[in-house]
Chain A
Amino acid sequence: MAAVNSSLAVFREEVQRCMRCGFCRALCPTWDSVGWESGSPRGRMQVIKALLDGEAQANEYVADRMYKCALCGYCLWRCPSGVKTTDAIRAARDHLVRRGYHPRIIDEIDGRIGESHNLYGLSKEDRTQWIALTGLDDLVKTGRAAEILFFPGCVTSFSSRAMGVAAATSQILYALGVNWTILGDEEWCCGNPLLLAGKPGTVKRVAEHNVSAIHRLGAKMVVTSCAGCYRTFTQDYPRIIGDLGFQVYHVSQMLENVLNQDRLRFSRDLDVTVAYHDPCELGRHAGVYEPPRRILREIPGIRLVELLNNRFLTRCCGGGGILKATNPEMALNLAQKKLEEAHCVKAEIIASACPSCKLNLSDAVAASEDPTQMLDITEIVAWAMNLKIM
């Protein structure tokens, strides 16, 4: 039997339990593209079993199959046998990384997060460039004691195509009159990309840094507009470092609370048909399906339509699982399929609640010159509140 690292060995009983019913294949977005059995979730479980039984070895082919997965969790939700598919795939990635059979981009990402503390390897000063978009330069105070801490995350902070999400969230927080702050250049990448990549070694240090920095500001509530950060803060950090000592909300949850308190005021009638796309890490992974819909339904003039596959059946847009970094063509292809779904329900706007979805779907819109607009829920809320984004 081949020697396998313990992080994979603990999944021996999981993959044994897979009885190959194939339910997981139905809406697996990546199996569609691969076609071969090893590219399906069921197949990936078999490949892991083969690794564990010494019937297959770590190699580029196995890596191709394990990294051609968006970790969207459809298979996890769909599996009647309860096999922890996404955890097993993450462990298989870890197994491959230890043997050097991983996409090189992962080393780069690891290096960037280790050295620059962000996904892009940019300087820490660049993390707050988005503030210029808010027109609130003097009002967005970084690193001050506050009740609420807004954690934008790397994609929102650094990507010019996603910065609008941070700007919109800030505008909304400001308009609500709450006491809030950001970590600014003290914010480190939450570590989600490394967990997805199978290189979790430095995540504990990252988690400890972020949590300590938040404690120093005395925040009782962390709000993030990123589905990946939300998942990492609510599921991975507690597993890695224990109780965080503050509450974590996705911005849609916070806005729903504000809505319930009758404090969210919309001043524009948008007259637009919107389809909400559930980000995998917010929906299937964290069970947050309704708050974004509730908010969109409350906005005057929005006709909210559902995509054919919605909520736990949502088809991943390809923006997750670091697929965009490791297999950008496949990620774009999945986003284009998502646009086709939006066309079927005649949506003018696809709304999401994750900057990675926004980025990938925006790329698909641009690549195909599609008339559908891609907006984050915060951008729609800011628009309906008539808040100005520069």
Chain B
Amino acid sequence: MAYGRVGEGTLKELEGIVGSEGVSTRPEELYCYSRDSTLFAFRPDVVVRPKSMEQVAAILRLANRDRIPVTPRGAGTSAAGSPLPVMGGILLDMSAMNRILSVDLENQAVAVEAGVVCDALNEELKPHGFFFPPDPASSPACTIGGMVNTNAAGNRTIKYGPTRNYVLWLEVVLPTGETVQTGSKTLKSVSDYDLTRLMVGSEGSLGVVTRVGLKIVPLPEGYATASLVYDSIGALARAAARMRLAGIVPEMLEFMDRKTTRVAFQYAGVKGLPEGNLLLVDCGGSKEAVGAMLKKCVDLGEQEKPAHVEQTTDPAYRERLIMARKAALPALARLRPSTVMEDCTLPLSKLPEAAAEIEEIPGRLSVEGLDLGNFGHIGDGNMHPTFTFDERVEEQRAAFFRGLDILYKEIVLPLGGSLTGEHGIGLIRAPYIELEHGSAAVELMRKLKRLFDPNLILNPGKGKGGPYPLRRG
């Protein structure tokens, strides 16, 4: 199937929909929008910045009529290649739809446009004593629409779960231009096929999310935080498992390996901790409870003989530790010119084994210049092994792709893990989806994709619902 081209007529129509100020074919913009935080680069033919659902619907009707690919994008912070316009066409930059529409404290709900930034929403909610808990490291930049499309999770998942748990309803424009509202404004509803949850994590392949209704929850009264430093990553993983098995549910149970901790602390200005693998435990709740909860965590962690333990209730220091953890990925970019993060999840019981095997990948590849840092949400079994190398050196680039094969084919999937916990399949993990889910499930996903998007115009070429025979127009 060949896609249609973006011609002069298309551009005129797009300008008619969003105004000339919302359409760009400038080569500089096309270059900027051709990347996310992966290695891949695909240029759109045009970037369009809609400001309303009606404009999005009109764009999709036009694109569907002319079979022009459309790729939605939030802040472009994806670590999977999901917002990259593989087949060119229209890049739909949703960041201009950034209004917080309502804050309903009585019903513990907010309504936002898809382009609202996660941290901006929480800044708005903070004075009211509420927050939207999913906390991806990219929260300073990522949009709610992007979070919905990837089912983003982050540091607080162990206690609060991912974005999916907070989406009450969605306004979605289908690839054919119709608009649907999924879900309900009530906290419970089972009156549909759960289209909301089908959309959550669909990586922009089934529809364009324009508005989101979210549950919000009260902020904890206080926090207590501990840093436990271990010599071995295995001991760290076992310590985390002890805490989980004891039934303690902290706000965060996060880890960074030795290399990552070094650069992340350098960035955040955290000093005084010895070098090693860091387990960060953050407990939240009533002021009376958090101290006791943290003590229990530390007692359990000490059974794995950490080299150092430090506890704090100082909000500024806690912020700094969290900032370091959130900066883990980009801080690793200090080491080498290219940094690519993975997103595997594992059964909790397999974490120590997996962490140790992942640590050995660079040694197995044995290519000068390629290394790996590891960090992530050890409390929910989600690790982010991150390759650091130089993509411009062919030997290193090839080794990186071999490293992916080792990670998924020899470690994650044999141990019963999953390819991605919160970033999505996108482009980078597309070659492995059938290995995890089997051909029948993949075929079912493709049929589902066609049901929503008969002309396959929406975010084509990605793992979910694809890939399929494609030809650029």
Q: A residues engaging B (CB < 8 A)?
A: 13, 16-23, 25-26, 35-38, 43, 46-47, 50, 55-56, 61-62, 65, 78-82, 308
Determine which of B35, B330, B392 lies in contact with A46 in the assembled complex, contact meaning CB atoms within 8 Å.
B35
A16 and B339 CA atoms in complex are apart in Å by 10
A55 and B338 CA atoms in complex are apart in Å by 19
Q: Can you pick out 9 interface pairs between chain A and chain B where the beta carbons lie within 8 Å of each other?
A: A16-B392, A17-B333, A19-B329, A19-B330, A19-B338, A21-B77, A46-B35, A80-B267, A82-B267
A21 B141 Cβ-Cβ under 8 A: yes
CB-CB < 8 A to B329: which residues of A? 19, 21, 80
A18 and B76 CA atoms in complex are apart in Å by 13
CB-CB under 8 A for A23 and B27, given A35-B95, A37-B93, A43-B32: no
What's the least CB distance linking B185 to chain A, in Å?
A: 30
CB-CB < 8 A to A80: which residues of B? 264, 267, 327, 329-331, 333-334
B32 A37 Cβ-Cβ under 8 A: yes
B31 close to A (CB within 8 Å): yes
B267 A38 Cβ-Cβ under 8 A: no
What's the least CB distance linking B417 to chain A, in Å?
A: 25
What's the least CB distance linking B29 to chain A, in Å?
A: 6
B140 close to A (CB within 8 Å): yes
B337 A16 Cβ-Cβ under 8 A: yes
Q: Which residue of A lies closest to B77 (CB)?
A: A22
CB within 8 Å of A: which B17-48 residues: 24, 26-29, 31-33, 35-37, 47
A25 B33 Cβ-Cβ under 8 A: no
CB-CB under 8 A for A47 and B330, given A20-B35, A22-B75, A25-B140: no
B334 A82 Cβ-Cβ under 8 A: yes
CB-CB < 8 A to A19: which residues of B? 37, 329-330, 333, 338-339
CB-CB < 8 A to A56: which residues of B? 27-28, 31
Interface 1/0 per residue, B342-380 and A, CB below 8 Å: 000000000000000000000000000000000000000
**A18, A36, A47, A82: most-surrounded residue (chain B CB, <10 A):** A36
**A21, A43, A79: most-surrounded residue (chain B CB, <10 A):** A21
Q: Which residue of A lies closest to B330 (CB)?
A: A80
Q: Which residue of A lies closest to B95 (CB)?
A: A35
B423 close to A (CB within 8 Å): no
A36 B29 Cβ-Cβ under 8 A: yes
**A22, A25, A50, A78: most-surrounded residue (chain B CB, <10 A):** A22
Determine which of A16, A21, A25, A50 lies in contact with B330 in the assembled complex, contact meaning CB atoms within 8 Å.
A21
A26 B334 Cβ-Cβ under 8 A: no
A82 and B409 CA atoms in complex are apart in Å by 34
A38 B334 Cβ-Cβ under 8 A: no
CB-CB under 8 A for A13 and B337, given A38-B28, A46-B35, A47-B31: yes
B26 A61 Cβ-Cβ under 8 A: yes
A81 B337 Cβ-Cβ under 8 A: no
B334 A20 Cβ-Cβ under 8 A: no
CB-CB < 8 A to B28: which residues of A? 38, 47, 50, 56, 61-62, 65
Apart from A25-B140, A36-B49, A56-B28: 14 A-B pairs, beta carbons within 8 A:
A16-B337, A20-B35, A20-B36, A21-B141, A22-B75, A36-B29, A36-B93, A50-B28, A50-B31, A55-B31, A62-B28, A65-B28, A82-B334, A308-B123
B117 close to A (CB within 8 Å): yes
CB-CB < 8 A to A13: which residues of B? 337
A20 and B267 CA atoms in complex are apart in Å by 16
CB within 8 Å of A: which B303-321 residues: none
Q: Which residue of A lies closest to B329 (CB)?
A: A21
CB-CB < 8 A to B141: which residues of A? 21-23, 25-26
Q: Which residue of B lies closest to A12 (CB)?
A: B337
B31 A23 Cβ-Cβ under 8 A: no
CB-CB < 8 A to A21: which residues of B? 37, 77, 138, 141, 329-330
CB-CB under 8 A for A22 and B138, given A43-B32, A46-B31, A50-B31: yes
CB-CB < 8 A to B29: which residues of A? 36-38
CB-CB < 8 A to B327: which residues of A? 23, 80
B135 close to A (CB within 8 Å): no
Q: Which residue of A lies closest to B143 (CB)?
A: A22
What's the least CB distance linking A34 to chain B, in Å?
A: 11
CB-CB < 8 A to B33: which residues of A? 37
CB-CB < 8 A to B264: which residues of A? 80
A35 B49 Cβ-Cβ under 8 A: yes
CB-CB < 8 A to B96: which residues of A? 35
Q: Which residue of B lies closest to A49 (CB)?
A: B31
B142 close to A (CB within 8 Å): yes
A23 and B330 CA atoms in complex are apart in Å by 9
CB-CB < 8 A to A61: which residues of B? 26, 28
What's the least CB distance linking B116 to chain A, in Å?
A: 13
Q: Which residue of B lies closest to A44 (CB)?
A: B32
Q: Which residue of A lies closest to B137 (CB)?
A: A21
CB-CB < 8 A to B26: which residues of A? 38, 61
Determine which of B31, B49, B93, B333 lies in contact with A81 in the assembled complex, contact meaning CB atoms within 8 Å.
B333
B113 close to A (CB within 8 Å): no
Determine which of A20, A22, A81 lies in contact with B331 in the assembled complex, contact meaning CB atoms within 8 Å.
A81
What's the least CB distance linking A82 to chain B, in Å?
A: 5
Q: Which residue of A lies closest to B328 (CB)?
A: A80
A56 and B117 CA atoms in complex are apart in Å by 30
Nearest first, the 9 A-B pairs at minimum CB distance are: A22-B141, A80-B330, A81-B333, A80-B327, A26-B140, A37-B32, A21-B330, A80-B331, A19-B333
Determine which of B24, B76, B140, B334 lies in contact with A23 in the assembled complex, contact meaning CB atoms within 8 Å.
B140
B251 close to A (CB within 8 Å): no
A17 and B47 CA atoms in complex are apart in Å by 25
CB-CB under 8 A for A20 and B31, given A37-B76, A80-B267, A81-B334: no
A16 and B391 CA atoms in complex are apart in Å by 10
Q: Which residue of A lies closest to B336 (CB)?
A: A17
CB-CB < 8 A to B123: which residues of A? 308
B119 close to A (CB within 8 Å): yes
Interface 1/0 per residue, B78-111 and A, CB below 8 Å: 0000000000000001011000000000000000
